[in-house]
Homo-oligomer: A and B are copies of this chain.
């Protein structure tokens, strides 16, 4: 289940984020707004701007999966120097490509692996705790904040853009 909650669902949401950014680009063109205004917008003076929200959503996805599967050695690095929409798209694509390399089989030990991060010192979480209480809530936080920044600025995005396609089934008669 951790594979579906992270690799599959993070990929879906990053694609939804791409779609939301497409809408922002179309809105900026229509309103003759410099896209940099939206990319640098923040909801509070001491909160990260849209560029940083996208960067952290990407990092939460790639690092979360790398730590759960014990693949920190292969995680792609990014220099956090994106300034344009095109560069943000490249970063999202890079993470999507990375996630695509994982399968359910990589998660055999994910629930029990000890996960740590440099700023936690010697402290750790089990993979199960890390996924449920840290990576997943953090990931949705940054996707939603990116969405909120654009919605606040007038971009016509709604819940369907955030959730993406839902695999509704029709009962057999």
Residues of chain A whose beta carbon lies under 8 Å from any beta carbon of chain B: 1-2, 4-5, 9, 12-13, 43-44, 47, 114, 120, 122-126, 128-129, 132-134, 136-138, 140-141, 144-145, 147-148, 151-152, 154, 159, 162-164, 166-171
Contacts and interface: CB of A to CB of B under 8 A. Distances in A.
Contact of A144 (B128, B134, B145): B145
Contacts of A148: 43, 144-145, 148
Contact of A137 (B132, B151, B163): B163
Copies in the complex: 2
Contacts of A9: 132-133, 137
B4 A132 contact: yes
Q: Decide if the interface of chain A is mainly helix, strand, loop or mixed.
A: helix
A146 to B, nearest CB: 10
Nearest to A120: B168
B43 A122 contact: no
A167 B12 contact: no
Nearest to A124: B169
A138 B163 CA distance: 8
Given A132-B4, A137-B162, A124 B168 contact: yes
A162 B47 CA distance: 14
Contacts of A137: 9, 13, 140, 162-163
